[in-house]
Amino acid sequence: MMQRWLIMALLSVYPVVVEANWRESLFLSPSGAPLDKIQAATEKGRFITQPRLDTLTFGRDITIATSLYESLAVEGVPPRFATKLEALLGEFMEAPVEFSGSERIQLVWEEDRREDGSLVGPPRLNYAGLLDQAARIEVVWPVDKKGIVMLFKNEELLDTLQLPVFGARLTSRFGNRRHPVYGGVRPHNGIDLAAPYGTPVITTAPGRISFIGRQGGYGRVMEVEHETGAISRYTHLSQFSPQFSVDDLVNAGEILGEVGTSGVATGPNLHYEVRVNDRPIDPMEQGRRIILGEQPTRLESLASLYEARGRLEQAIGISSIYDLISFNEP
């Protein structure tokens, strides 16, 4: 009898969760679990309920009437995605992608929201499909805590995002080198990527922002902690992206700030590090494998593409313009 009353008492402290029907063509992420589950913690004999966070998925099918930026804003899409898409496509594509005013673009993104509907952290782009280009162009971002950004052209994996600065020149590798300012041979704990002042600096893999601020000779620094426990460090920045705060979740390809000369630097560049247990490792080799994982096989990359298309279909309420093909087809 005592056990029965104890069970009933424990069950009574858990809130009843009521799911609302969202209009805006959105749904909870496929995992079905909120970002922060409703938890009960005991403090001095009392149960405390933590606020609930849900990850909501949005989708849009947009005809670009004017500029990409204005068209996204009119449709309620975060305008910051325009800068992100133009930067990625400008790097990935052999010729610049130009929008003349009649193209269609399909987008899927995620937002973390509290029960009252307020936004927590920045939105995260998951999928972009350009429908009216000479070739079928699709960009897929990872929805889990690891993975890479992939660009597909006619369903073939064309390229992946692996470095944090587009079009940069590698000027110094990991390992011992003669210091360009202080002289003498010293360990170089990362790589240096020279690029024009103000060039966007992007995160290489999903994670959580763990530091924003200044660190001595590094100047302005942002750090991202990844699921594996590794930390990627971005330094000498000229400025930080204002939408980010410590503890925000970020996806791969998010613009963290801009190339600069803060700290000890001989010219505009990004000093990029990967650390495990506060020990620096080569970002180009071991570090890349740790935070990005191995390069996907053809079937794995296609699986990511088809999963993204499925999320698009659910988010916008209609079938994607692309017919899903069988893995067994050549």
Around Cβ 166, how many Cβ atoms within 10 Å? 17
State both tokens at 210: 């763990």
Q: How confident is the model at residue 171 (pLDDT cuts 50, 70, 90)?
A: confident
Whether the CB-CB separation of 132 and 104 falls below 8 Å is answered with: yes
Q: How confident is the model at residue 38 (pLDDT cuts 50, 70, 90)?
A: very low
- Spatial neighbors of 16 by CB under 8 A, at least 6 apart, are none
pLDDT in tens, 84-110: 888 777 766 665 666 766 788 899 998
Highest mean pLDDT, choosing among 80-89, 128-137, 269-278:
269-278
Our CA angle for 272, 275, 278, nearest 5°, is: 130
Query: H or E segment at 91?
Result: helix 80-92
What domain count does the chain have?
2
* pLDDT, position 294: 72
* pLDDT, position 330: 39
* pLDDT, position 84: 82
Nearest-CA neighbor of 113 among 35, 167, 17, 220?
Answer: 35
The answer, yes or no, to whether residue 247 has pLDDT greater than 90, is yes
- Residue 141, exposed/middle/buried by CB under 10 A (0-12, 13-18, 19+)? buried
C-alpha torsion 285→290→292→298, nearest 10: 80
Query: Three-class SS of residue 220?
Result: strand
Around Cβ 64, how many Cβ atoms within 10 Å? 20
In a domain, 36, yes or no: yes
Instruction: Classify each residue of 211-228 as buried b or exposed e, where b means 16 or more C-beta atoms within 10 Å of its C-beta.
Output: ebeeeeebbbbbbbbbeb
For 163-186, what is the mean pLDDT?
80
In a domain, 320, yes or no: no
Say whether both 156 and 11 belong to one domain.
yes
Q: What percent of the chain has pLDDT over 90?
A: 29
Whether the CB-CB separation of 205 and 141 falls below 8 Å is answered with: no
Position of tokens 């803060």? Answer: 262
Say whether both 173 and 120 belong to one domain.
no
Q: How confident is the model at residue 114 (pLDDT cuts 50, 70, 90)?
A: confident
Nearest-CA neighbor of 142 among 132, 150, 133?
Answer: 150
In a domain, 237, yes or no: yes
In a domain, 154, yes or no: yes
* pLDDT, position 322: 44
Tell me the C-alpha distance between 95 and 107, whole Å.
22
C-alpha torsion 255→257→258→263, nearest 10: -150
Say whether both 143 and 21 belong to one domain.
yes
Q: Domain with 106 in it: what CATH number?
A: 3.10.450.350
Say whether both 193 and 134 belong to one domain.
no
Q: How confident is the model at residue 178 (pLDDT cuts 50, 70, 90)?
A: confident
Say whether both 154 and 30 belong to one domain.
yes
The answer, yes or no, to whether residue 210 has pLDDT greater than 90, is yes
Say whether both 260 and 153 belong to one domain.
no
Tell me the C-alpha distance between 186 and 201, whole Å.
26
Domain end call among 121, 142, 160: 160
In a domain, 319, yes or no: no
Taking 3-state DSSP, the helix, strand and coil percentages for the chain, each rounded to the nearest 5, stand at 20, 35, 45
Around Cβ 149, how many Cβ atoms within 10 Å? 23
DSSP for residue 218: G
Tell me the C-alpha distance between 11 and 213, whole Å.
45
Highest mean pLDDT, choosing among 81-85, 116-120, 304-308:
304-308
User: Which range marks the domain in which residue 286 is found?
Assistant: 169-292
For 225-244, what is the mean pLDDT?
93
pLDDT in tens, 43-55: 444 545 556 788 8
The answer, yes or no, to whether residue 232 has pLDDT greater than 60, is yes
Cα–Cα distances (Å) from 296 to 37, 126, 206, 289, 319, in that order, read 31, 17, 16, 12, 26
Average pLDDT, the chain: 77
C-alpha torsion 283→186→169→143, nearest 10: 20
* pLDDT, position 96: 60
13 or 291, greater pLDDT? 291
Residue-level length of the chain: 330
* pLDDT, position 326: 34
* pLDDT, position 14: 35
